[in-house]
């Protein structure tokens, strides 16, 4: 069973958009045991899109298009499919009703062009889009399958991870199954050093991927069934956990913030935070986890010295003597936060996000992170290199790693 992906969009050819969707889908195809030998990218042009679908069906039983399903005139994928399959488009009134309902729920003005999104070939059925208005399509004709998916990643990815993956799994005949072990607190080369012998295996394979201050170890096995593949993976995953210990904070899609929140909930602990240079990123990540309100009480984004004094009780004399980016201020912030919010834990972040050093001579990338608990307060000092976005993300990740490490005891 072979599949071919066609990415549709002039913005892909012009290079203004990097095609991460095709890679995402490629991984899912591989996991479902479906081969993929060719991929095509075409612009928003009906003739070329039609030719691409026709060519793909000469090489593959399954063709998946990405993009071009929106309401505007340059969204031509439906028309291309209809021409390539020689199957006319009809207006699906039930679909139109559903799209109108989305507009009504969101209080958006209905524009007639939106009805285009309810068009489908007669052989097509819709795939629900929970994050947008354009439904996907599955068309079956002459023993071949065409799947059409919308381009915006937040609509595309859930559709692929859900119904499309289910369909592909039934079409594929061998199973390639992966588990990802997520590691914090160690660099990629150190992780590799610790598991290098496991990386020589052929089934399962072990491959490291470096993320922002995180390493993901993908363990992949090939077998006839998912259970068989999982059984091949299990002893290797166990050995990795033995070697890396608490640093493996989760598997697959588990984020570090989710691991932290779940651990806090399990231990019945509450937490609060105060953020200076990260400006809300830590709060944003912690509250991205459903149910975080059971443990996360609140935070102060203390972007000025005055706010640090007024809301957190930091002493003006400490700010004067040590500057806002100092071990002493991180300590007072964490302790003041814990007191004001009356939580078990409180974390503070203060640093120089840049660009450039601050007016007290603290270098760009210098960050202090405080952690206050009933047993006392610890402050760690970090130097995160250059770049505002990078420094802010690294500081947030370091705060979560410190919390995670602390929660192991």
Footprint of a second copy on 167-226 (CB under 8 A)? 178, 187-190, 192-193, 196, 199, 207-212, 218, 220
Residue 30, burial from CB neighbour count under 10 angstroms (0-12, 13-18, 19+): middle
Among 22, 330, 346, 403, binds a second copy (CB under 8 A): 22
Q: With binding defined as CB under 8 A, does residue 334 bind a second copy? A: no
- Measured over the CA atoms of residue 88, residue 89, residue 90 and residue 94, the dihedral's sign is positive
Instruction: Please identify, using beta-carbon distances, which residue of 121 and 132 lies nearer to a second copy.
Output: 132
Residues in contact with a second copy, counted by CB under 8 A, come to a total of 111
With CB under 8 A as the contact rule, which of the stretches 30-38, 166-174, 221-229, 258-266 interacts with a second copy?
30-38
Q: Which is nearer to a second copy, 171 or 207 (CB)?
A: 207
Interface region with a second copy, contact rule CB under 8 A, candidates 78-86, 89-97, 258-266, 382-390:
382-390
Instruction: Quote the CA–CA distance of 229 and 231 in Å, as a whole number.
Output: 5
Q: Does 392 bind a second copy (CB under 8 A)?
A: yes
Name the pairing type of β-strands 119-121 and 89-91. antiparallel
239 binds a second copy (CB under 8 A): no
- Rule CB under 8 A: is residue 321 a binding residue for a second copy? no
| Contact call for residue 248 and a second copy (CB under 8 A) | no
Alpha-carbon gap, residue 246 to 181, rounded angstroms = 12
Q: Under the criterion CB under 8 A, does residue 313 sit at the interface with a second copy? A: no
Tell which positions 40-59 bind a second copy, by CB under 8 A.
40-45, 48, 52
3-state class (DSSP) for residue 231:
helix
Of 41 and 373, nearer to a second copy (C-beta) is 41
Please say whether the beta carbons of 264 and 270 come within 8 A. Answer: yes
Query: Are β-strands 136-141 and 124-127 bridged in parallel, bridged antiparallel, or unpaired?
Result: antiparallel
**Shortest CB 123 distance to a second copy, Å:** 27
Subset of 118-177 contacting a second copy (CB under 8 A): 130-131, 152, 154
Cβ proximity to a second copy: between 51 and 89 the closer is 51
* CA distances (Å), origin 267, targets 4, 256, 263, 308, 408: 48, 17, 6, 30, 10
Q: Does 269 engage in binding with a second copy (CB under 8 A)? A: no
Neighbours of 401 (CB within 10 A): 21
- Candidates 79-87, 165-173, 329-337, 377-385: pick the segment binding a second copy (CB under 8 A): 377-385
Distance CA 277, CA 387 (A): 12
CA torsion sign for 280, 281, 282, 287 is: positive
Relative to beta strand 3-8, strand 62-66 is: parallel
Q: CB of 298: closest distance to a second copy in angstroms? A: 4
| 288 lies in the binding site for a second copy (CB under 8 A) | yes
383 binds a second copy (CB under 8 A): yes
Does the footprint of a second copy cover residue 275 (CB under 8 A)? Answer: yes
User: Closest distance between a second copy and the C-beta of residue 279, in Å?
Assistant: 3
Q: Of 202, 207, 195, whose CA–CA distance to 238 is shortest? A: 195
Q: Could you tell me where the beta strands, DSSP code E, fall in 46-107?
A: 62-66, 89-91
Residue (166 or 383) nearer to a second copy, CB: 383
* Minimal distance, residue 252 CB to a second copy, in Å: 11
Per the CB < 8 A criterion, the answer to whether 261 and 337 are in contact is no
Give the nearest distance from C-beta 238 to a second copy in angstroms.
Answer: 22
Task: Determine if 374 is a binding residue for a second copy (CB under 8 A).
Answer: no
**Closer to a second copy at the Cβ: 39 or 262?**
39
3-state secondary structure labels for all residues of 355-380: CCCCCCCCCCCEEEEEEEECCEEEEE
């Amino acid at each position: 069973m072979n599949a071919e992906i066609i990415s549709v969009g002039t913005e892909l050819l012009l290079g203004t958009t990097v095609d991460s969707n095709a890679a995402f889908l490629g991984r899912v195809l591989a996991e479902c045991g479906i081969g993929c030998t060719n991929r095509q990218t075409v612009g928003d042009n009906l003739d070329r899109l039609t030719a691409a679908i026709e060519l793909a069906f000469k090489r593959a039983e399954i063709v998946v298009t990405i993009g071009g399903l929106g309401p505007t005139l340059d969204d031509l994928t439906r028309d291309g499919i209809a021409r390539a399959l020689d199957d006319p488009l009809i207006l699906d009134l039930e679909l139109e009703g559903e799209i109108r309902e989305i507009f009504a729920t969101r209080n958006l003005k209905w524009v007639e062009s939106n009805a285009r999104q309810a068009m489908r070939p007669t052989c097509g059925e819709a795939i629900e889009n929970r994050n947008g208005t354009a439904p996907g399509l599955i068309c079956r004709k002459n023993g071949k399958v065409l799947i059409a998916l919308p381009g915006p990643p937040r609509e595309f990815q859930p559709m692929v991870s859900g119904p499309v993956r289910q369909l592909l799994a039934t079409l594929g005949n061998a199973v390639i199954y992966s588990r990802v072990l997520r590691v914090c607190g160690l660099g990629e080369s150190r992780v590799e050093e610790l598991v290098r012998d496991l990386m020589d295996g052929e089934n399962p394979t072990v491959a490291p991927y470096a993320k922002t201050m995180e390493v993901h170890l993908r363990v992949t096995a090939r077998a006839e069934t998912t259970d068989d593949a999982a059984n091949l993976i299990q002893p290797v995953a166990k050995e990795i956990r033995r070697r890396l210990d608490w640093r493996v904070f989760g598997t697959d899609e588990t984020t570090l913030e989710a691991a932290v929140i779940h651990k806090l909930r399990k231990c019945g602990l509450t937490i609060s935070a105060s953020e200076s240079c990260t400006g809300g990123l830590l709060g944003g990540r912690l509250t991205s986890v459903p149910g975080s309100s059971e443990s996360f009480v609140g935070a102060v984004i203390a972007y000025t010295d005055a706010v640090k004094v007024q809301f957190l009780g930091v002493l003006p004399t400490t700010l004067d003597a040590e500057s806002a980016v100092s071990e002493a201020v991180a300590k007072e912030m964490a302790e003041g936060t814990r007191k004001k919010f009356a939580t078990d834990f409180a974390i503070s972040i203060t640093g120089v996000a840049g660009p450039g050093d601050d007016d007290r001579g603290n270098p760009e990338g210098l960050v202090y992170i405080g952690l206050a608990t009933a047993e006392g307060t610890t402050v760690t000092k970090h130097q995160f290199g250059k770049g505002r976005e990078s420094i802010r993300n690294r500081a947030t990740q370091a705060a979560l790693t410190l919390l995670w490490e602390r929660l192991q005891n």
